[in-house]
Amino acid sequence: MDISNNQLLLKRAINIKAIVTPRWKEEAQQQLQAQINQLDSQLQQLEMQGQRAIGELKKQTIQPPGPEVMQQIESIQLQINEQKSKFLDQKNQSLQQLQQIQTFELEQEVSQGQIESVFAVAKGDNLIQKMQVEVLLRDGVIEDIRGEI
């Protein structure tokens, strides 16, 4: 980018949109299903690690366990429950997104997020117009660039 002395470089967020196609729907559903499967796996792993840690604590103490050990067990259980809650929230969010994708109509435009871009401005430019740029994708290929580049 050739910049003269009377120009300034700024950053802007560019909205990325995708056109819903059968391929886009399939890929989005596969991606979300993979996330859900990974979260299920992490939940199982967390449960096993927690049970293992509690089991080790119980093995190392006299029976019945004293108040300190019971407090440690409760602390571990609390941490497990907090992490499980986070995983379940993420899973529910992914399930909702999966459901939402199924309701999208073909050729509908949907938001895919944002990326940053650097652009030049000079005296007399309309900054608002230069900030409002979006890229439209069809199956990952740029179909349109909307706004003032």
Domain boundaries, the chain: 10-146
Distances (CA, A) of 2 to 10, 121, 123, 131: 14, 12, 16, 19
Mark out the alpha helices in the chain (DSSP H runs). 22-59, 67-103, 127-131
Q: Which pTM value belongs to this model?
A: 0.72
The percent of residues in the chain predicted with pLDDT above 70, rounded, is 97
d(CA 124, CA 148) in angstroms, rounded, equals 14
Q: Please say if the pLDDT value at position 69 is more than 70.
A: yes
Strands 141-146, 109-122: pairing kind: unpaired
> For residue 24, what pLDDT band results from cuts at 50, 70 and 90?
very high
User: Do the Cβ atoms of 112 and 135 come closer than 8 Å?
Assistant: no
Q: Mean pLDDT across the stretch 76-90?
A: 93
